[in-house]
Structure formats: structure tokens, C-alpha cells
Amino acid sequence: MRRESVRRKDNANQKYKKKVKQEIVIVIDKSGSMSSSRDDVIGGFNTYIADLKKDEDTDVKLTLVMFDTYVHKLHSGKAIKDVSELCSKTYCPGGSTALNDAVMEAVADVETRLKKSKTKDDPQVIVVVFTDGEENASNKFKKDAVSDKRKEKEDEGWAFIFMGADMDAWAAGSSYGMSAGNTISLGKQAIGDSIAYLSNRTSKASRAYAAKGSGVISHEVYAQTMNNLMEIDADDVANDKDAVHLRATIDNSSRISNPAYLNLADKIKDLQSKTKTP
């Protein structure tokens, strides 16, 4: 049986005949424990924005929310071409970790704008949470509220990605109901690689949206792709060596093993064996 693939980008985009609309929502930890990683976060974010600006097939709007003891909204649905780079003045870590309030305020921001939008096509929404610690400062929302909101929006097609640095991201992400396939555990030395991987996965999401819209892949395949966007699949193994290399580097940087497999090499061998033609 031939496997449906989101890798057929040219074919999908030619059939789709319009730009994919993406709402990228970045929720970044800037608590005191991120101080040693300030430059890596700034450099990684700026590279990610530069990559998004180069994608001529996707119309991106960016929402950027940071959190320490409080929540700070820097951008609200801003056209990617108008998004400025971060610097040491706009990203200056300090304080505690109001993660719950930040996620909920970021989601509410997008919800409000989309309800007012007159566009016929719903955009693809990807919410990315990047943190190095557990919630300890929110005064508006509890973890259950975040989990319930995540489920509500995922049922509407949104994707939520949890990236945890120098922590057990699997446990933290799952406590919010985050999919293991959209969770990344990394060492802080791999922040740059993890954001490069996020850029790769954002492009994959765009291709999947175009492929679904043009009938190249089914809605079921699209949903599976979005729920496991941060995982390496057979498509990646066959066609995207950069993604495989980046994911291997990230996994190797983390002190917490992925609960889905002992090591990426074994998973790759398994994927290769399953995709071989009898």
C-alpha cells in the first residue's frame, strides 16, 4: 500500500493554489533560570523568524508572549514581515514562572482575533511553549484550566508543542495533556538545534495543511501529522536527513530519555523496516 505523504510539497501547493495561513504562537519562559541561555534563545528566535520570512508559500502571523513572574505580550498576530528581532533589552530573564497565565493569555489573544476575522479559511494554529521549569507564579489560571483549553483547541485542529530545557519535559508536558509526539526534552546546550528543528517542523506543518487542502492527504493523516509533529516519521527518514540529524542531536543533549523509544537509531531502523516494499 502506498503511504500518503506530506512531502509532496510542489504538487500540494500547485493544487492548493494559495498561501497557507499560519498563526504561530510562541510562549517563551524568561524567568531567572533562563539567564544563562539568554543569548541562545535570542539567536534561536531570530533565526526562526528569518526562516519564516523566507517561506513564500506561507502567510504567517506571529503572537509572542513571554513570562516570568508576570505575562508580557510582545506581538499579537503580527505579520511575520513586520516582526523585529529579539535583543538583550526585549529578552531579559528574571523572576518566577507564570506559565499557566501565559499560555491562557496567548490562546485567548488568538481566539479573540479569529472570532473577529472575516476570512473564509481557518488558519493553521501552532502554539509553542518553551520553558526550563515548572509553573510557580500564575495567579489567574490553574493547570487544569490550561489542559481543558488545550483539549478544546486541539479538537478544533490546533497543535500544541511543549519544549522543555534541562527538565523532565515528558512529565511536565503530559501534566497538561500535551501529546508525547509534540513534546521535546532538550539540554540547554541544544537550544539552537531545537529551534532549528522547530523551524523544520513548522514547514512540515505548512506542507501538511496544503496537502490536506488540495486532497493529497486525508484529514486523518493530517490530524496524525499535527498530533505528532515533533516526532520523526518514515517520511522524514526517507526524505529529510536534516530533521533526523537535528532530532538525534536534541535527544542526545537531554538527560531525560524519550519514553516512546530507547534511542532514535532503533526507531529509525524500525521505520525503515516498516516502509520497505515486500
Average the pLDDT over 74-101 and give the result: 98
38-62 residue pLDDT tens: 999 999 999 999 999 999 999 999 9
Considering the domain boundaries, does residue 3 fall inside one?
Answer: no
Considering the domain boundaries, does residue 183 fall inside one?
Answer: yes
Average pLDDT over all residues of the chain:
92
Considering the domain boundaries, does residue 13 fall inside one?
Answer: no
Considering the domain boundaries, does residue 61 fall inside one?
Answer: yes
pLDDT at 93 over 80: yes
- Alpha-carbon torsion angle 146, 150, 153, 159, nearest 10: 140
Count of the separate structural domains present in the chain: 1
Considering the domain boundaries, does residue 64 fall inside one?
Answer: yes
CATH number at residue 189: 3.40.50.410
In angstroms, the CA 208 to CA 136 distance is: 36
180-189 residue pLDDT tens: 999 999 999 9
Considering the domain boundaries, does residue 161 fall inside one?
Answer: yes
5-39 residue pLDDT tens: 555 445 555 566 689 999 999 999 999 999 999 99
Considering the domain boundaries, does residue 11 fall inside one?
Answer: no
Question: For the whole prediction, is pTM greater than 0.85?
Answer: yes
Residues 87, 42 contacting (CB under 8 angstroms): yes
Range of the domain at 255: 18-275
Q: Which residues pair with 131 in a beta bridge?
A: 164
Higher pLDDT, 2 or 171: 171
Considering the domain boundaries, does residue 7 fall inside one?
Answer: no
